[in-house]
């Protein structure tokens, strides 16, 4: 069967138009499979990072920005294997402290118990002694780096407008 170019264009246009008329169906997005962390470790990193930078009126938090996904991917690609070992050891230290404080894992604890643990290890941020306190510095640093390189952190939280002229006073150096 021979079809003219005109008929093929009409058929293609009709197909595109009918596809455009169909309602969009949002398929559920499955949580990404961790590349570096175990699922339990990923859940802990996701929860702790979201506690460090929670959702507020201005922007989504660390979970919405995909911080745990970013950290997981960076650690999976890391050249320095001791970096990944520090994360695994830190997570184990947090789990041990959670069992000591509450008799259960971090994720099995109540939100109030999680906050108590995070508050405890964050209090020693300037002079960490325990492995869990040292891990807090690691996860806080990773969370901040990941968050402020995400679309949510840059555009929603920092309200970055791109490379545009900033009207008003400029407190830079006058090179003239």
pLDDT bucket at 70, cuts 50 / 70 / 90? very high
Tokens representing 67 are 């911080």
pTM: 0.74
> Is a pLDDT exceeding 60 seen at residue 27?
no
Q: What are the tens digits of pLDDT across the range 84-135?
A: 999 999 999 999 999 999 999 999 999 999 999 999 999 999 999 999 999 9
Mean pLDDT, the chain, rounded, equals: 85
Q: What are the tens digits of pLDDT across the range 137-156?
A: 999 999 999 988 888 777 66
Model pLDDT, residue 15: 63
CA dist 158 and 150 (Å) reads 11
Model pLDDT, residue 52: 96
pLDDT bucket at 31, cuts 50 / 70 / 90? low
Tokens representing 14 are 């009709």
Over residues 16-31, the mean pLDDT reads 56
pLDDT bucket at 171, cuts 50 / 70 / 90? low
Report the first-to-last Cα separation within the chain, whole angstroms.
Answer: 76
If you write DSSP's letter for every residue of 151-176 in order, what string do you get? HIIIIIIS----S----S---S----
Model pLDDT, residue 162: 72
Q: Which among 81, 83, 116, 98 is positioned nearest to 40, based on CA atoms?
A: 98
């Amino acid at each position: 069967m021979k079809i003219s170019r005109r008929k093929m264009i009409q058929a293609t246009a009709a197909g595109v138009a009918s596809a455009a008329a169909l309602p969009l169906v949002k398929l559920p997005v499955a949580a990404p499979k961790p590349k570096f962390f175990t699922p339990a470790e990923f859940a802990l990193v996701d929860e702790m990072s979201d506690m460090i930078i929670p959702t507020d009126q201005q922007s989504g938090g660390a979970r919405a920005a995909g911080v745990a996904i970013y950290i997981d991917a960076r650690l999976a690609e890391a050249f320095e294997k001791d970096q990944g070992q520090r994360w695994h050891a830190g997570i184990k230290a947090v789990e041990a402290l959670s069992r000591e404080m509450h008799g259960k894992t971090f994720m099995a604890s109540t939100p109030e118990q999680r906050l108590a643990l995070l508050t405890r290890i964050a209090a020693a941020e300037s002079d960490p002694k325990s492995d869990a306190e040292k891990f807090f510095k690691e996860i806080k640093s990773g969370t901040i780096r990941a968050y402020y390189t995400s679309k949510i952190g840059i555009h929603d939280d920092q309200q970055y407008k791109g490379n545009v002229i900033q009207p008003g006073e400029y407190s830079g150096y006058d090179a003239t």
